[in-house]
Structure 1
């Protein structure tokens, strides 16, 4: 299972894959995203087309596990770390190398609320 931790540190959102296997699969130990680049946090179900209409640029794609960088034909470069699309938070970004980040977390509602609260404070 691919899962990450999300936390706010100063004016950045820090995303870290849990465990060695997830970090290896995603080819990332950590992502630091400036909060002013985050436009929206969503807990909506991630449609399969979001992943299936993408080309893996770096990382792992062994269905149903996806981790790493993908180029989506509709949205551009996205970062994914997920096994279950119902447990994901999607972050829409602007002015960052990824257009969207889709990550599986333990409590998607809690993480989305934390991100929204941090965005309201900037």
Structure 2
């Protein structure tokens, strides 16, 4: 699971517990100007993941780490698809983050209210 916070102009994703080991990451920081938006999306877990490098994918248990698909890099950290959100990014290290959070609705609202719209 991940905890999402906003620190000034930065989206901070803290990977918690053993997920750090599976995802091979403990923290992601993304400038808010690179964040396009976020949605709650439990169905995302059924989408193709691509090539895992590095990370772990045990179907119906955990998807965590960096995955490459169709020229894009996607970061995953999901055990419970019902709590999954997708954070869309532009011109960042990843094209999107697919992460499990405690309260998807509240986290999506936090991100959406923090993103500057033109």
Unaligned runs of 5+ in 1: none
Structure 1 position 120, deviation (Å): 4.1
2:86 alignment partner in structure 1: 90
1:43 alignment partner in structure 2: 40
1:3-82 correspondence to structure 2 within 5 Å: 3-19=1-17, 21-50=18-47, 52-64=48-60, 65-73=62-70, 76-82=72-78
CA contact (8 A) 2:84 2:104 kept: yes
Number of residue pairs aligned between Structure 1 and Structure 2:
117
Structure-2 separation of matches of 1:23 and 1:30: 9
TM-score, structure 1 as length reference: 0.87
Structure-1 separation of matches of 2:24 and 2:43: 22
Structure-2 separation of matches of 1:90 and 1:14: 14
Superposition CA RMSD, Å: 1.8
CA contact (8 A) 2:32 2:116 kept: no
Structure 1 position 49, deviation (Å): 4.1
Structure-1 separation of matches of 2:109 and 2:67: 26
